Amino acid sequence: DSGVTQTPKHLITATGQRVTLRCSPRSGDLSVYWYQQSLDQGLQFLIHYYNGEERAKGNILERFSAQQFPDLHSELNLSSLELGDSALYFCASSDGNSNQPQHFGDGTRLSIL
Amino acid sequence: GENVEQHPSTLSVQEGDSAVIKCTYSDSASNYFPWYKQELGKRPQLIIDIRSNVGEKKDQRIAVTLNKTAKHFSLHITETQPEDSAVYFCAATTSGTYKYIFGTGTRLKVLA
């Protein structure tokens, strides 16, 4: 158990819909990273938050948005969903220092029908 | 921008043989290099890491070497076992930044 909690584990929805993925970081961790992993692909960095503030953006689509709340949990919102958005979405947390390992949650598997 | 190249993309070895995966980074200021193992359908898990003030680190059958001059680091797995079969990702980060750059992954298959 990494200490990072992601909900839900699975999500099945239709094209055009909107979903929210939730992540609770390890106790004491201030940084939250979001990644998208399509089938047999690498980890695509989406966005990074540190203590409530956005710090870095990767290849995140405009249809996607995220935030980190005062209690440090984070949500990733995906809207106008397309078939190509089907993927495993991981959240990872670290203590905020980029010189430390990231701890990954078990991911949310999103399936668009 | 910064990037990390990882080779090979796939690697098959016989059980008991050694496996080596190599990563090359572009940012000379990078100073922390973790390796993650991801089994099918599971989350990436840290297996070993190395900092720039160290040239080599070993943990049982796993070792990582770092060549700062050439800007590359490698994962070495000795006496491979079927349970070592997974995708391995390297990463490079730099103190004071929030950038965590992952390699593209290596699918290792250990043949029994």
- Give B51-101 as a 3 state SS string: ECCCCEEEECCEEEEEECCCCEEEEEECCCCHHHCEEEEEEEECCCCCCEE
- What pLDDT was estimated at residue A21? 98
- Answer for the pair B38, B87: CB distance below 8 angstroms, yes or no: yes
| Of B71, B83, B65, B69, the residue nearest B21 (C-alpha) | B65
- What pLDDT was estimated at residue B1? 67
The pLDDT of residue B98 is above 80 = no
**Residues of chain B found within 8 Å of residue A106, distances taken between Cβ atoms:** 42-43
- Residue B67: half-sphere exposure toward Cβ, Cα within 13 Å: 10
Best of A59, A104, A109 to substitute, by most chain B Cβ atoms within 10 angstroms, is: A104
Determine the average pLDDT of the residues in B56-66. 97
Give per-residue pLDDT as tens, A14-71.
999 999 999 999 999 999 999 999 987 889 999 999 999 999 888 899 999 999 999 9
The pLDDT of residue B46 is above 90 = yes
Query: What's the rounded Cα separation, in Å, for the pair A97 and B103?
Result: 20
**Residues of chain A found within 8 Å of residue B102, distances taken between Cβ atoms:** 42-43, 45
> What does the block give as tokens for B63?
């070792």
Determine the average pLDDT of the residues in B54-76. 96
* Partner A contacted by B96 (CB < 8 A): yes
**Residues of chain A found within 8 Å of residue B27, distances taken between Cβ atoms:** none
* Number of DSSP helices (H) and strands (E) in chain A, helices first: 0, 11
